[in-house]
């Protein structure tokens, strides 16, 4: 995918799995896409999450929703499932294995990597990552094993050092605090609970998209 196109897809990157939703995950996803989420990552992690066949079935169902809205479908940290479903890409963290080997395992698909400093970002891009996730920007209760809250510092540092790859900020982001993330240099925001826990996921996604687009105009 062209870098400029991918940057557009980064605007509202919705991530979730069944444990992040209090109602049906397919319905939450569909509402998020109706509201304007531009990219989706299936992240079935944490206590009570599905595994085996039921996990794969949920992934497939969510992929079908994404197809209907023409939104790329990314899988968190599971190359096998990504290949089985012929998903659009994979997202991995620093602890998920050797990045170079991961990249070689599926040359034609999107690869996103979570990074926390300039060295990790440079390495990820050297091995051929397509986009970077940077966080936690703000405190989050959704993932307990995050690095320390970094504010905008790392996003700014990457841009100041000439990194032009697509970047999303992640961690504690919602419509009211999204603008600072984009103004510091990110192409968009990755969120879980701002959409998955919202009474109206469509409204939440739409508010996020508005906030990101407004911040981009002023950037
Ligand atoms: N990764 P919420 S923070 C999945 O810092 C994830 O790398 C993070 O959830 C990181 O939008 C995070 O509900 C959780 O805060 C984001």
| Ligand 1 geometric centre to CA of 88 (Å) | 21
What band does 219 get if pLDDT is binned at 50, 70 and 90?
Answer: confident
Give mean pLDDT, residues 105-124.
97
| Ligand 1 geometric centre to CA of 128 (Å) | 23
pLDDT at 218: 81
Percent of the chain topping pLDDT 70: 100
Q: CA-CA distance, 171 to 25, in Å (whole number)?
A: 20
**Ligand 1 atom with least separation from CA of 43:** 4
Q: DSSP labels for 109-120?
A: SEEEEEE-SHHH
Q: What is the ipTM of this complex?
A: 0.99
Q: Is the pLDDT of residue 171 over 80?
A: yes
Average model confidence (pLDDT) for the chain?
A: 97
Q: Is 136 in the pocket of ligand 1 (CB under 6 A)?
A: yes
Percent of the chain topping pLDDT 90: 97
Q: Is the pLDDT of residue 159 over 80?
A: yes
| Ligand 1 geometric centre to CA of 111 (Å) | 18
**How much is the pTM?**
0.98
* CB count in 10 Å sphere of residue 4: 9
pLDDT at 214: 97
- Could you give the count of Cα atoms lying within 13 Å of 44 in the half-sphere of its Cβ? 20
**Ligand 1 atom with least separation from CA of 141:** 15
Q: Is 114 in the pocket of ligand 1 (CB under 6 A)?
A: yes
Pocket test residue of 14, 140, 198 for ligand 1, highest count of atoms within 8 A of CB: 140
Q: CA-CA distance, 100 to 92, in Å (whole number)?
A: 12
* CB count in 10 Å sphere of residue 213: 14
**Ligand 1 atom with least separation from CA of 134:** 7
Q: Are 33 and 64 in contact (CB under 8 A)?
A: no
Q: How far apart are the first and last CA of the chain?
A: 24
């Amino acid at each position: 995918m062209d870098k400029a196109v991918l940057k557009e897809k980064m605007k509202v990157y919705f991530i979730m799995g069944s444990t992040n939703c209090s109602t049906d995950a397919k319905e939450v996803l569909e509402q998020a896409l109706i509201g304007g989420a531009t990219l989706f990552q299936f992240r079935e992690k944490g206590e009570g999450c599905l595994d085996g066949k039921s996990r794969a079935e949920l992934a497939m169902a969510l992929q079908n929703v994404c197809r209907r809205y023409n939104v790329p479908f990314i899988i968190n940290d599971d190359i096998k499932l990504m290949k089985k479903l012929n998903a659009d890409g994979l997202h991995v963290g620093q602890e998920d294995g050797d990045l170079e080997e991961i990249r070689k395992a599926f040359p034609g698909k999107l690869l996103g990597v979570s990074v926390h400093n300039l060295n990790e970002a440079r390495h990820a891009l050297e091995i051929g990552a397509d986009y970077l996730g940077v966080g936690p920007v703000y405190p989050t209760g959704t993932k307990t094993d995050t690095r320390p809250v970094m504010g905008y510092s790392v996003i700014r540092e990457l841009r100041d050092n000439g990194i032009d790859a697509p970047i999303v900020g992640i961690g504690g982001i919602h419509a009211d605090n999204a603008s600072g993330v984009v103004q510091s240099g990110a192409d968009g925001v990755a969120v879980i609970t701002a959409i998955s826990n919202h009474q109206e996921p469509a409204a939440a996604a739409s508010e996020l998209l508005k906030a990101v687009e407004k911040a981009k105009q002023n950037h």
